[in-house]
Amino acid sequence: MNAFSRLGRQLASYWHQFRTVIAGEYRAIFTDPGVLLILVFALLIYSTLYSLAYGSEVLRNVPIGVVDESRTSSSRMLTDAFDAGPNTVVAYEPTDMKEAERLFFDRKIYGVVYIPEDYERRLLGGSQANVALYVDASYFLMYRQVFQELVTTIGRTGAMVEFQRLIARGADIPQATAVTQPVIYQAENLFNPYLGYGSFVMPAIIIVIIQQTMLIGIGMIGGTWREFGLYRKLCPPGRRRMSTLPIVAGKALVYASVYAVTSLYILDLHYRLFHFPMNGAAGTVAAFMIPYLLACITMGIAVSTLFRYREQSIMLLLWTSIPILMLSGASFPREAIPEWLYALGQVFPSSHGVNAFIRIRSMGASFAEVLPEIRTLWIMTIVYGAMACFGIHRILRREPCERGGEE
């Protein structure tokens, strides 16, 4: 009976500490403007701003200049074809390359097409006509759009000229078509039919933002607890020290409840507002998000035990956001990342979370297809949870309660 009595008192003490930590953690979040901004509003603000910035999805109507030295009907048709494309618009027709160069370096145009004087003569005479392209490669997305549009237009124009030449020589239409278009292909853009940049990058950004706001916000609270000695003040009567498990469990429950609400908004209503792909079953998304949030939370608690002051969290973690996004493989292919750098990125939940979330939400992957990533996230939850318990225990040994008593 004595053992049961001690167990009952121990459980009652744990429950009291658990409720005290929850109340203190909610108070720390919703009475601290800095923490409230990071943990609650940052995810909403960042995801909305990024989505608005990428709202057009595809870059269109990039201004270019055409220097037409030929000044013939053939060169005019080519210029009109450049202007009719969805990706480019002929904003200027400079008289020479010097004027085109000035417009280019004034950032009024992002590409120059030079049509030489002998363009029509060589084109109609059966010789190979030359057209020079100068495209700004400092902005890669713009370069891709302009170069692709110009090359496609030139190829289509050349094929049309060859088609007319064959017809004039007596070939019938099927024969001329077979010569000018020997291979006909049909392209299907899977998972991102409009090749939108927002649909490509936003799933990865959202997953990284969840992790980074957690790490910074939880780190700020951890620094605040140590800076102001809250571990000592929250100790229940009759104890010399707080217990480790109630603190870790209470903190984790609070952060999970906050991010459950914000994540539900982001992954449902926000996705619908900005028309991002919503493939994959809701149950699969939930099965992924639960271990991902827990892995981020336990990692955040573990890291927060390293800070003695709240400002240290921002100084040490804010700069890591862009490297972590790169290491996730979203902005640069994983196959091109050095092996040691790729291995370093595997310690972050986001590296596994980005891959799984893109496959679920964009590609419609099933639970079985992302099970390896989900399993890894659960393992990370256990490992980082143990590290969080060790870190909290180490702090508690150094900060005994203000009022003594029996253990």
Whether the CB-CB separation of 198 and 271 falls below 8 Å is answered with no
Q: Where are the domains of the chain?
A: 12-55+196-398, 62-180
What's the Cα-to-Cα distance from 14 to each of 41, 229, 397, rounded to whole Å? 32, 20, 17
DSSP for residue 188: -
Residues in CB range of 357: below 8 A, 6 or more apart: 203, 204, 206, 207, 288, 292
- Round to whole Å and give the CA distance between 300 and 217: 8
Q: Are 103 and 109 in contact (CB under 8 A)?
A: yes
**The dihedral sign for the CA sequence 113, 119, 120, 126:** negative
pLDDT at 3: 65
Instruction: Select from 289, 296, 310 the least CA-distant residue to 385.
Output: 296
Q: In this predicted structure, what is the pLDDT of residue 230?
A: 74
Residue whose token pair is 């449902």: 268
User: Cα separation of 305 and 398, whole Å?
Assistant: 12
Cβ contact 239:13 at 8 Å: yes
First to last CA, the chain: 19
Report the DSSP pairing between strands 62-68 and 111-115: parallel
| Tens digit of pLDDT at every position of the chain (407 positions) | 466 667 777 777 788 888 888 998 999 899 989 899 999 999 999 999 988 888 777 888 899 999 999 999 889 999 999 998 788 999 999 999 999 999 999 999 999 999 999 988 888 777 788 899 999 888 877 888 888 888 888 888 887 877 777 777 777 778 777 777 777 777 777 787 777 788 888 899 999 999 999 999 999 998 888 887 777 766 666 666 678 888 999 999 999 999 999 999 999 999 888 888 888 899 999 999 999 999 999 999 999 999 888 888 888 777 788 888 888 777 777 777 888 888 888 999 999 999 999 999 989 999 999 999 999 999 999 999 999 999 998 888 877 666 544 33
Using the structure block, give the residue that is written with the tokens 């605040």. Answer: 224
Is beta strand 132-135 parallel, antiparallel or unpaired with respect to 111-115? antiparallel
Which DSSP symbol is given to 169? Answer: T
How is domain 62-180 classified at the CATH fold level? abc type-2 transporter like fold (3.40.1710)
pLDDT at 223: 87
Number of neighbouring beta carbons within 10 Å of residue 313: 26
Helices and strands (DSSP H and E) totals, the chain: 18, 4
Contact between residue 299 and residue 385 where contact means Cβ atoms under 8 Å apart: no
Please give the structure tokens belonging to residue 215.
Answer: 């790490």
The SS3 call for residue 135 is strand
- The predicted pLDDT at position 407 comes to 38
Q: Among candidates 309, 298, 308, 247, which has minimal Cα distance to 24?
A: 247
SS3 of 24-81: HHHHHHHCCHHHHHHHHHHHHHHHHHHHHHCCCCCCCCEEEEEEECCCCHHHHHHHHH
